[in-house]
Structure formats: structure tokens, C-alpha cells
Chains A and B, each alone.
Chain A
Amino acid sequence: NAGVTQTPKFRVLKTGQSMTLLCAQDMNHEYMYWYRQDPGMGLRLIHYSVGEGTTAKGEVPDGYNVSRLKKQNFLLGLESAAPSQTSVYFCASSLLYEQYFGPGTRLTVT
């Protein structure tokens, strides 16, 4: 079992560019989450999904979109990147309450 994987591991974007972060899990979990982690701010929930075809907003959804077309994948999109979106992004999945995290994607927007 690979658990939760994230692609890519690192990325540098220019302001205004777009990109998609991919999260994949092989544990057949219903719930999937996208977080960002910034120094001193802890983990903040961006969007989450309670099942295939569903998405919901978290604490800081502005500037991001998500899709869950397949149960095992959860995509996070940035349509027009801004320097404020420089962060480490973590994906997680869970069956119920216990979340399993991926290794993170470090994104820098210049």
C-alpha cells in the first residue's frame, strides 16, 4: 500500500499561472481533504470531500477549486496563483475520523 501520495513534491509558479495538485489514496477511503500549512498558522482546511463526486469548502477556500471525479483521487486547482498561496499543501484521507496524510507539496509563487 502506498497510502496517500501527492504530485508534485515541489513547484515554483509565477503570479497568475495555474496548476493542479494531485492527491491519490489506495485505502478506499471516503473522505479526502486538502490543507495548507504556513509558519505559525498550523494546518488550515481548504476544501474537503465526503465521497466521490462531492466537495465542500473548508476554512480558507478562496482562490482554490477541487474535484473528486474518482474515489481515489482529489485534485486541488489554483486558477491564478498569487504570492499569498506560497505554502506547503497536504492532502489527507480518512475512513472515519483518523486522517492519513501525504508527504506534502511545497509551492512557491513568485
Chain B
Amino acid sequence: TQLLEQSPQFLSIQEGENLTVYCNSSSVFSSLQWYRQEPGEGPVLLVTVVTGGEVKKLKRLTFQFGDARKDSSLHITAAQPGDTGLYLCAPHNTDKLIFGTGTRLQVFP
């Protein structure tokens, strides 16, 4: 069984603050995805990272895939209330994704 950990589990911050959430595993993955899920809705894909050391930016969100392809991080600059949601990492393993339990982010105005 592959162990996938996301940290922190919960994060409450004020608008304008920066934050980083982490996704760690003991296994090597071919690729990894980040999803955001808002209350009452299904997860929505944010990004896919494939190459070790890869960095991708999506407006104020910066995603990094670890050099060894075992971990990833998501950094949000100047968080806004619209960033509130559950952030899920999902490494890809053969024909399935493995979802972490997520980081629940609350951004207060």
C-alpha cells in the first residue's frame, strides 16, 4: 500500500497571506496532479506535473514536483477568499490516481 500524506490537514488564514501545502510519499510516481474541491462540488483539476523538479505556475499558484518524483508542493501567494477549498494531490499509478486526504484551506476576508 502506498502511503500518501498531505499537510497540513487544515489551514485558516487571512486574505493576503502566503501559504504552502505539501504532498509526500515514499513511492516514485510518473506524474502527479493537484485538484481543488469546493463544498458541494466535485474536484477540479488544477495542474499536472510530470518531470522531477518541474515548476508550474497558475496565476498566484505555484506547483513543484520533487526532484525524486516522490513529493510535491503547492504555494499560494496573496491568498484570496476564492481560494477556499479542499486541495487534493493525486499521484498517478498505472491506470489509476491515488488521492490524498487533502488540505482544507479557509481564507478569511
Find chain A residues with CB under 8 A from B44 CB. 101
A46, chain B: closest CB distance, angstroms: 12
Given contacts A40-B101, A41-B101, A42-B101, contact A99 B95 (CB under 8 A): no
| Count of interface residues, chain A, beta-carbon cutoff 8 Å | 23
The interface-forming segment of A13-21, A60-68, A76-84, A90-98 is A90-98
B79 at the interface (CB under 8 A from A): no
Contact, CB under 8 Å: B95 / A50: yes
B59 at the interface (CB under 8 A from A): no
- Measured CB to CB, the nearest residue on chain B to A92 is B42
B43 at the interface (CB under 8 A from A): yes
List the interface of chain B (C-beta within 8 A of A).
Answer: 31, 33, 40-45, 48, 88, 90, 92, 95-97, 99-102
Given contacts A31-B95, A104-B42, 15 further A-B contacts (CB under 8 A): A4-B42, A42-B99, A42-B100, A43-B43, A45-B96, A58-B96, A90-B42, A90-B43, A97-B33, A98-B48, A99-B43, A99-B45, A99-B97, A101-B44, A104-B41
- Give the 4 A-B CB pairs with smallest separation, nearest first: A101-B42, A42-B101, A43-B99, A42-B99
